[in-house]
Structure 1
Amino acid sequence: MSTQRLNGRTAFLKLLQDEGVTHVFGNPGTTELALMEAMSDAASIKYVLGLQESVVLSMADGFARASGQLTACNLHCTPGLGHAMGALYNARFSGSPIIVTAGQYELGYGLLEPMLYEPLVPIAQPLVKWAYEIQRVEDLPRVVRRAAKVALTPPFGPVFLSLPGSILDDEADLSLGHRTRVLAHGSPTDHDLDDVVRAVVQSRSPVIIAGRELAEQDAFEEAQTLAEMLGAPVYHEPIPYNTRYPVCHRAFMGDLTRNQKKVHETLGQHDLLIVLGADLLRMSAYNETDPMPNDLLVIHISEREWELGKNYPTDFAIRGSVKTILNSLLPRVDVGLTIEQRTDAQERLELMSKRNWTACRSQFLSSSSLSTNVPIAPGFLAQAIAESVQKNAIVVEEAPTLAPLLSSVLEVNEPRNFLGLASGGLGFGMGGAVGAALARPGTPIVAIIGDGSAMYAIQALWTAAHLDLPITYVIANNRSYRIIKERLVAMRGTDRFLGMDFTKPQLDFVSMATGMGVTARTVDDPSSLREALKSAIASGKPSLIDVVIDPGVQKA
């Protein structure tokens, strides 16, 4: 292999470019100076400045989720990595292929325990697929190539590299090599597939849980074909990673929810559960009711082997690409179904069409009487958003109280046009919208963010304004952590709301937004809501609408 004389900082950026990285999201500090010096010469990589490290990593997460491509972010030593840990936790669950780096002091200098120093690898290790601190500049090509390979090998996920300053400044004759991609689309043996098909065709009442991997692998068509063959209702998995399944398909019944009792009742009506690229019933708060009915036959297909049989006995646990495996299963299932079974499947589909997601949405929209409520009713806000968002827009959602209402009316059918909260920890949405806008230039982004959620990462507004991105931030402002209030009443039987209100003083989102260069307005009149939403989205500019909504449960 040919070699060239390079310093570490230049080699690192050349390697990123060759791996397909187009953006580095960062917040620089002293330990990153060598990298920032070289960044100006990396013409094909755009440096995106964020004003706090959690925002930076959320931007990278949003970019990776909206594009499905490798990206990178650079943090500032130990405090920077610490700031970003919540966002890294979210990226872990969303399966985002990100090369996360942090500047580190020169090798050996850490012995003196200077300011900002701690070993970085042990901090990052629990939340990434691989973590390593580079020890020699000669190892840089091997390390970066491995990092990209690991991040992009299914299941995708973030990796972490600690970059000592001495490595970035050292020079050596380096061979940069070339990239490696692991093809992981294998299929089970014919014998195993035959066993699965036998279980499928013997079922009289199958149900499907559609998961994030369907969207990530562009497998909607295959999943819809299976649902129609079997006459099986389809539910979104409980975690809103992405679109998961087209909401307008006639077999789609809605979100499964994270209410254990309701999930148990829903699944208990069936004799076969087919899980396609989803977690198997990942829930939230504890409930004594187990969501999984006893004796329900389970077929689970996922590229994430850890999820297979993790919490519940699984009769057929199949590791691999859900798209590839469905393409192997579908012709076998088609051959195995009798005429009577096909007729039964069509009859079930006809019955479903009267109570599926589309039917329920139509009923809600036609019967809604919330348009005059002041403060604005959350259901009316969800309805107005659903009617204002263009079909090609990307929706980023981080509004916990509004989310169930939004999922019942928002029409999203494209795989990467919805990004929700993957981990449950707040802080993704504000920065994630910036990353999504950069991943899909020219696409309108509508970010629906709770007032509490927005304050975790409000600095993202500056980057949106700085880059003049077409993002409309819709703040669902109930002046509180409403979801915590509701859970306190429901789970603890008390309305003593300590530390849950933002009223003394109230948060002024318009001033915060305009102070960072984003056009903003408050809407508290339901009659002006639709016009405000449509105007902001159509502008193609960064904007914020502070929507004053009903605060909900109050003290008695």
Structure 2
Amino acid sequence: MRPVEAMLEILRAEGVTTVFGNPGTSELPFTDALSVAGDIDYVLGAHEGSVVAMADGYARATGRTAFVSLHIAAGLANGLVGLLNASRSRTPMVVTAGQQDRRHLACDPMLSGDLIGLASAAVKQTFDVQHAHDLPLMLTRAFAAARRAPAGPVFLSIPMDLLTEDVDVEVPGRSTLAPQGPATELAAAAGLLAAAERPALVAGDAVGRDGAVAELTALAEALGAVTYHQPMNDNLDFPTSHPLYGGMLGATHAAIRETLAAHDTVLIVGTHAFMAHHYTPGSPIPETTTVLQLDADAAELGRNFGVRLGLHGALRPSLAALAEQLAGRVPRAAERTAAAGRRAAAGWAATDRAALAAYGPGPLDPLAAAHAVAAGLPEDAVVVEEAITTGLRLRQVLRQDRPGSYLHTVGGGLGHGIGAAVGRRMGDDSRPVVAVLGDGCAMFGLQGLWAAGHYRVPVTFVVMNNGEYRTLKETLDTWDSRSTRGGRYLGLDLAFGPDSGRHRLDFRAAAEFFGIEAVRVSHPAELTEIVAKSASATAPLLVDVPITGHTPPR
């Protein structure tokens, strides 16, 4: 079969039913073949950043490798932020870009460039396809690499003339690989955990990705171990309403160390290097704490700190075996669980009181706004969060038990949320999707609203609108508390105009431009009511939520 026909045959064999893309001349052979084939959908995005974000959300919803088609060097460059996010979040994705016709590449034609050089820093592997007979093999290898632990995006550069060659190429047979088995030395790990006086678990994002939430929960209950989410978790890796849930670890070594100091033994499961954000000196591990680590990726074991025992194996069977070995072996498990439950209930009650005390007319207090969203969420809703400061408050009030209910990216590249929410709903239309976005984040990914409007994807977009980059103001105040700048911040305001009448961006106008209905709320009760209606949404809706901004220290 011809090269482009072989390409489509491999996509079918890999379970690809949807291609996310933004085409140009160098992709026309591929999109033309897709239009004739008719059995693979093409989802158009108005910007490559949104295209990759949609594919990211889709892959997480379906559990399958997403396929992306970008346009040559410029399109690939636009998509790099999404690829960096997908790499950090371990999202399996095969990304292609059409290169210029090889017959005039030496002349440096318009739009051509070093596609492999551009992509290399953002993906786990690259393939520079130069011969038609190599395309099927390289594409098959790319899918295998994308899903192999640690999963992530893989890139192929494909010259446009190669796809149209009238040559016969062979499609390699698809391999079936045995799944990774449980780790060895589990009995030794169980002994260390059973002997602990104050055990704790850290749930990394691989727990949610690998479908191991139930097994980790069973292990926590067998031990009576408080369980923390990794810093800035981008999955639901442990039920946040569980009495043993201890919250999310802070994103600095100092904050992690302070929390873990209360525990003599900690098992860290499926997390990448603790993902610290701001620098603080010292190790994240207290000197008196014994650390065990379990990961499907051997490179993570002992990577940034010493571990008493590193366990390499698949998370689900390893955690299930540990839970089975420890069942009934820890007499204090029930007592520990009850004590943790009392502490958790007191913390939840205090947070609820603080949030309710802040309820009032707009602009809304950020904690009150987050609480109102959480209060209105349908039971089976998926939250896509890219709200930075308000997102931290949302994490405090969310009570979610069902795996797959939370989506974030630890990559940190802004503009992910809108596209990811669209892709998440496209990949699974059985659950309502509510995207909670900061206004700055929404500005980075605004083109994603085009796809939401065009395909009528029923996502409720909640934009927390404070007219500023609040997280940077808070960080600056922390670093420079003795500053004499008098509350002035350079380049950190989105609102504009004279101080007496600053213009806050009106996201209703943006929604209207993309053909999406929009409302603005003025009280938390309104927000709760609107979010609750997402359960029966049949079209996208944008909710503009004016919230209070940062107050400089005096």
TM-score, normalisation: structure 2: 0.94
Q: Which residue of 2 aligns with 1:245?
A: 238
User: For each residue in 1:205-224, what CA deviation from the matched residue of structure 2 results, as whole angstroms up to 9, or x when unmatched?
Assistant: 11100111221222222211
Is 1:230 the counterpart of 2:231 in the alignment?
no
Give the CA deviation at 1:473. 0.4
Give the CA deviation at 1:139. 1.7
Is 1:167 the counterpart of 2:154 in the alignment?
no
Q: Which residue of 2 aligns with 1:305?
A: 298
Gaps of 5+ in 2: 497-502
In 1: Cα distance, 2:489 partner to 2:540 partner: 35
Give the CA deviation at 1:67. 1.9
* Structure 1, 50-59 or 300-309: larger mean CA deviation: 300-309
Give the CA deviation at 1:432. 0.4
- Supply the AA of the counterpart residue of 1:354: R
* Structure 1, 393-402 or 201-210: larger mean CA deviation: 201-210
Note if contact 1:137-1:171 (Cα within 8 Å) is conserved in structure 2: no
Note if contact 1:149-1:181 (Cα within 8 Å) is conserved in structure 2: no
Within the candidate set 351, 358, 374, 1:364 is matched to 351
Give the CA deviation at 1:421. 2.2
Provide the aligned length of Structure 1 versus Structure 2.
Answer: 543
Any residues of structure 2 matched to 1:390-409 within 5 Å, and which?
390-409=378-397
SS where residue 249 of structure 1 aligns?
A: coil
Q: Which residue of 2 aligns with 1:427?
A: 415
Q: Which residue of 2 aligns with 1:441?
A: 429
SS where residue 354 of structure 1 aligns?
A: helix
Q: Which residue of 2 aligns with 1:468?
A: 456
Q: Which residue of 1 aligns with 2:504?
A: 506
Q: Which residue of 2 aligns with 1:457?
A: 445
SS where residue 487 of structure 1 aligns?
A: helix
SS where residue 448 of structure 1 aligns?
A: strand
Q: Which residue of 1 aligns with 2:526?
A: 528
Within the candidate set 90, 93, 96, 1:95 is matched to 90
Give the CA deviation at 1:553. 2.0
User: For each residue in 1:46-95, what CA deviation from the matched residue of structure 2 results, as whole angstroms up to 9, or x when unmatched?
Assistant: 10000111111111111111221111011111011111111100000111
Note if contact 2:45-2:51 (Cα within 8 Å) is conserved in structure 1: yes
The 4+ residue runs of structure 1 with deviation greater than 4 A are none
Q: Which residue of 2 aligns with 1:3?
A: none
In 2: Cα distance, 1:126 partner to 1:146 partner: 19
Note if contact 1:153-1:181 (Cα within 8 Å) is conserved in structure 2: no
- Supply the AA of the counterpart residue of 1:497: Y
Within the candidate set 369, 391, 394, 1:381 is matched to 369
Give the CA deviation at 1:555. 7.7
- Supply the AA of the counterpart residue of 1:266: T
Within the candidate set 91, 113, 120, 2:108 is matched to 113
SS where residue 446 of structure 1 aligns?
A: strand
Give the CA deviation at 1:316. 1.2
- Supply the AA of the counterpart residue of 1:489: D
Give the CA deviation at 1:29. 0.7
SS where residue 173 of structure 1 aligns?
A: coil
Give the CA deviation at 1:308. 1.5
Any residues of structure 2 matched to 1:313-324 within 5 Å, and which?
313-324=306-317
Any residues of structure 2 matched to 1:324-363 within 5 Å, and which?
324-334=317-327, 337=329, 341-342=330-331, 344-356=332-344, 358-363=345-350
In 1: Cα distance, 2:456 partner to 2:550 partner: 35
- Supply the AA of the counterpart residue of 1:551: G
Any residues of structure 2 matched to 1:71-82 within 5 Å, and which?
71-82=66-77
* Structure 1, 213-222 or 56-65: larger mean CA deviation: 213-222
CA distance 1:304–1:460, change in 2 (3 Å): same
* Structure 1, 321-330 or 159-168: larger mean CA deviation: 321-330
Give the CA deviation at 1:43. 2.3
In 2: Cα distance, 1:111 partner to 1:178 partner: 35
Gaps of 5+ in 1: 1-5
User: For each residue in 1:336-360, what CA deviation from the matched residue of structure 2 results, as whole angstroms up to 9, or x when unmatched?
Assistant: x3xxx41x2221111111112x542
In 2: Cα distance, 1:48 partner to 1:485 partner: 38
CA distance 1:184–1:314, change in 2 (3 Å): farther
In 1: Cα distance, 2:433 partner to 2:190 partner: 42
In 1: Cα distance, 2:387 partner to 2:49 partner: 18
SS where residue 334 of structure 2 aligns?
A: helix
- Supply the AA of the counterpart residue of 2:380: N
CA distance 1:272–1:555, change in 2 (3 Å): closer
Give the CA deviation at 1:14. 1.9
Identical-pair percentage: 34
In 2: Cα distance, 1:126 partner to 1:529 partner: 41
- Supply the AA of the counterpart residue of 1:105: Q
Within the candidate set 25, 28, 38, 1:30 is matched to 25
Any residues of structure 2 matched to 1:475-514 within 5 Å, and which?
475-493=463-481, 494=483, 495-504=487-496, 505-514=503-512
Q: Which residue of 1 aligns with 2:144?
A: 149
Cα root mean square deviation, aligned? 1.8
User: For each residue in 1:473-532, what CA deviation from the matched residue of structure 2 results, as whole angstroms up to 9, or x when unmatched?
Assistant: 000001000110111111122443010111225322111111111101222344533233
Q: Which residue of 1 aligns with 2:500?
A: none
In 2: Cα distance, 1:527 partner to 1:472 partner: 16
In 1: Cα distance, 2:283 partner to 2:322 partner: 30
- Supply the AA of the counterpart residue of 2:492: M
- Supply the AA of the counterpart residue of 2:39: S
TM-score, normalisation: structure 1: 0.94
Within the candidate set 244, 264, 274, 2:267 is matched to 274
Give the CA deviation at 1:181. 4.2
- Supply the AA of the counterpart residue of 1:499: G
Note if contact 2:372-2:525 (Cα within 8 Å) is conserved in structure 1: no
- Supply the AA of the counterpart residue of 1:389: L
In 1: Cα distance, 2:39 partner to 2:307 partner: 47
Note if contact 1:154-1:184 (Cα within 8 Å) is conserved in structure 2: no
In 1: Cα distance, 2:386 partner to 2:176 partner: 33
Q: Which residue of 1 aligns with 2:42?
A: 47
In 2: Cα distance, 1:120 partner to 1:155 partner: 23
CA distance 1:525–1:223, change in 2 (3 Å): closer
Q: Which residue of 2 aligns with 1:538?
A: 536
- Supply the AA of the counterpart residue of 1:511: A
